[in-house]
Chains A and B, each alone.
Chain A
Amino acid sequence: MSPTPRFPYVPPPELAGATGRRPVVVIGSGPVGLTCAIDLATRGVPVVVLDDDDTVATGSRAICWAKRTLEIWDRLGVGSRMVETGVTWSVGRVFHRDRELYRFDLLPESGHRRPAFVNLQQYYVERFLIERAAAFPDLIDLRWRNEVAGLTQSRDGVRLEVTTPDGPYALEAAWVIAADGARSPTRTRMGLPFEGQRFEERFLIADVRMKADFPTERLFWFEPTFHAGQSALLHRQPDDVFRIDFQLGPDADPERERQPERVMPRVRAIVGAGTPVELAWCSVYAFRCARLERFVHGRVVFVGDSAHVVSPFGARGGNGGVQDADNLCWKLALVLAGEAPEGLIDSYDVERGHGADENILNSSRTTAFMTPKTRVERLFRDGVLALAAEAPFARRLLNAGRLSRPCSLAGSPLQTPDGVPMPGGVAPGSACPDAPVRDGAGRPGWLLDHLGGAFTLLVFAGEACPDLAGCADLPRVVVGPRPLDCPGATMLVDPDGVAAARYGAGPGTTYLIRPDAHVAARFPAPDPAGLARSLARAHGRADAPVREAA
């Protein structure tokens, strides 16, 4: 690992008299704020990013990045970097004392470009995103040591007061994205309540560097013999760093427990006395599950931890935040371009509010299982552990973390429910699954390389090109068993029928794909009028008159 990078402060143009309103200002340069900036830049939207510091996260912090997050970063051109440096895993094991109760594989099938998870320290993620942002010098203006000191909203914009080493300046923005973390100063400044459940339990996180032969799997112990009566979690990270998470109980003294002379015996109990171990970072924390009631407040939109926080078990914090960015940025770009009504932004609140609720529910349930509060909760928990060795049903109740999966947006008004029953495949609101394909020249690639970015028509073909006359003028991707020369469409060959099977498709099956690679609508055959209605609806124009294509 190289030393912590320091990024140079550059006096902002406003201090030299520049004026003018910015379309979007992002507050905070963590993984979520940077993902927003890059996503907007790929859509041609100029962004200013303000950060009060001049470096990346200290300590590993978030480490588990889910398949869906990697696919979003692929769309932004930075996925490979993450996967090449990260540690790939898909298997988790759950132990009770010395006995393995349960083993799960999060991605048992092949034919996906990305693994279920990679583990990668947050400081690497931020560095790679910062490097990627530098590829958009005309669109992304990343301002270090620029701290927001004031925020005033008008009907159609936001005025920020910003302080710098050279003094204060004002910055006008049409939209502000608050990505300033779990203790969001923007949230505090706006007086917004952040409500939820606080857990009493204390946990110790220790990142240790060691040469150890633990498998590249998520290992979780209930009541391990090396840490009696509590629980423990172990993850491998790059650079021979391991994350070990110890439950300490509600009465632990955080100050005392983070002292190396307290931490190291706990670590040695798990790794053995003979393995040389170096403590890289540690922290003692209690956590809570909380969210803003609404994520959109006028022209200020909250994303990531500033909008919602969960416990770390399940990797739903960082991954949830990246999905926020993915959901919001295409909508902002359309609204700024005048191609969608401002109300489209409200759908971000609906869709990601639903995602946050799902993450909070799962995270709270895991916490309840790991840290029973009452005698009866403990009886149920211990009953599950005791039955799990023999009874398969009890293994399904074991809850050592329900790991982040893309959430379904089926209930959102942007999606069009199926007009006719379409069993199987990908229901409206779901994230698009990947599949191996070949392009027209026979080169192997992935379906997801061709979805997302813009609204896209994904049409499955048989022996002939589908008739798309009159269909919405969108990028078209045709997938078929053999190469076809379909005018105006990107041809992808699906020789083994994997894509067709995953999409439940026969010749003619037509999907309308959103810019965040979720299904907006689907039809058994190309349906120009239906597509036009669904496209209007997906732009937040549910009541728009149907525009029949010429």
Chain B
Amino acid sequence: MLRQDDGFHGRGDDVYGALLSAHEGLSDDESAALNARLVLILAHEVGDVARLREALALARRSLGAAPGPAPG
């Protein structure tokens, strides 16, 4: 179950600002590469494979695209 409380502890705007700042001055390819690396790092911080799969499924659903591989 993905967390439903405020994981940002009221500092969501700071988090969002930090994400945008990290991309300043990068080309589109570099930004995509940065995002991939960041996902790897944060996936490791989450650690729990089941929760990660839920997050991946949510992201995939929000694309409006075909569902990803079944969790398992």
- List the interface of chain A (C-beta within 8 A of B): 362, 365, 368-369, 374-377, 380, 383-384, 386-387, 390-393, 396-397, 399, 402
Q: Which 5 A-B pairs have the closest CB atoms?
A: A376-B31, A396-B12, A386-B62, A376-B23, A387-B62
Q: A377-B20, A391-B58, A396-B8 are in contact. List 6 more A-B contacts (CB 8 A).
A: A369-B16, A376-B31, A386-B63, A392-B4, A392-B5, A396-B6
B48 at the interface (CB under 8 A from A): no
CB closest chain-B residue, reference A396: B12
A377 to B31, CA, bound (A): 10
- Asked if B62 and A383 make an inter-chain contact with CB atoms under 8 angstroms apart, the answer reads yes
Q: Are A365 and B16 in contact (CB-based, < 8 A)? A: yes
Interface presence of B72 (CB below 8 A)? no
Q: Knowing A377-B23, A390-B61 are in contact, say whether A397-B16 is a contact too (CB < 8 A).
A: yes
Separation in Å of the B28 CB from the closest CB of chain A?
5
* Bound Cα distance A377, B24 (Å): 9
Across-interface contacts of A393 in B (CB, < 8 A): 3, 6-8, 12
Assuming the A-B contacts A375-B31, A391-B2, are A399 and B58 also in contact, with contact meaning beta carbons closer than 8 angstroms in the complex? no
Alpha-carbon gap, A402 to B28, bound state (A): 29
B6 to chain A, nearest CB (A): 6
**How close is B8's CB to chain A, nearest CB, in angstroms?**
6
Across the interface, which residues of A come within 8 angstroms of B26, CB to CB? Answer: 376
CA separation between A386 and B20, bound complex, in Å? 18
Q: Which residues of A contact B8 (CB under 8 A)?
A: 393, 396
- Inside 8 A of B58's CB, which chain A residues have their CB? 387, 390-391
Contacts A/B (CB < 8 Å), 25 sampled:
A365-B13, A365-B16, A368-B17, A368-B20, A369-B16, A374-B31, A376-B20, A376-B32, A377-B23, A380-B20, A383-B62, A386-B62, A387-B62, A390-B61, A390-B62, A392-B4, A392-B6, A393-B3, A393-B7, A396-B8, A396-B12, A397-B12, A397-B16, A399-B13, A399-B16
| Centre residue among A365, A368, A375, A393 by max chain B CB count within 10 A | A393
In the assembled complex, B56 has its CB within 8 A of some CB on chain A: no
**Closest residue to A391 on the B side, CB-wise?**
B58
Question: Across the interface, which residues of A come within 8 angstroms of B13, CB to CB?
Answer: 362, 365, 397, 399, 402
Q: How far is the CB of A366 from chain B (nearest CB, A)?
A: 9
Q: Chain A's nearest CB lies how many Å from the CB of B63?
A: 7
Residue B42 interfacial (CB < 8 Å): no
Interface of chain B: mostly helix, strand, loop or mixed: helix
Q: How far is the CA of A428 from the CA of B3 in the complex (A)?
A: 34
Q: For the complex, is B46 an interface residue (Cβ under 8 Å from A)?
A: no
Q: Which of A374, A376, A383, A387 has the most CB of B within 10 A?
A: A376
CA distance A392 to B5 in the complex (A): 8
Q: Tell me the complex Cα distance, A482–B16, Å.
A: 49
Most chain A CB neighbours (cut-off 10 Å) among B16, B19, B31, B35: B16
What A residues does B12 contact at CB under 8 A? 393, 396-397
B18 to chain A, nearest CB (A): 11
Whether the pair A376, B16 counts as a contact (CB closer than 8 A) is no
Output the least CB separation between B9 and chain A (Å).
10
Give complex CA distance A380, B26 in Å. 15
Give the complex CA separation of A391 and B57 in angstroms.
Answer: 12
Provide the bound-state CA to CA distance between A380 and B16, in Å.
9
Q: CA of A327 to CA of B35 in the docked complex: distance in angstroms?
A: 44
Tell me the complex Cα distance, A396–B64, Å: 21
User: What residues of chain A lie closer than 8 Å to B62, measured between beta carbons?
Assistant: 383, 386-387, 390-391
Q: Considering the complex, give the chain B residue whose CB is closest to the CB of A374.
A: B23
Q: In the complex, which residue of chain A has the Cβ closest to the Cβ of B6? A: A396
- On chain A, the residues within 8 Å of B59 by CB distance are 387
> How distant is the Cα of A199 from the Cα of B14 in the complex, in angstroms?
20
Q: Which residue of B lies closest to A362 (CB)?
A: B13
Against A, the Cβ 8 Å flags (1 = close, 0 = not) of B20-63 are 10010010100110010000000000000000000000110111
A526 to B2, CA, bound (A): 48
User: A375 to B27, alpha carbons, bound, how many Å?
Assistant: 9
Which chain A residue shows the least CB distance to B61?
Answer: A390
CB neighbours (8 Å) of A365 from chain B are: 13, 16-17
Bound together, the chains give a CA A494 to CA B58 distance in angstroms of 49
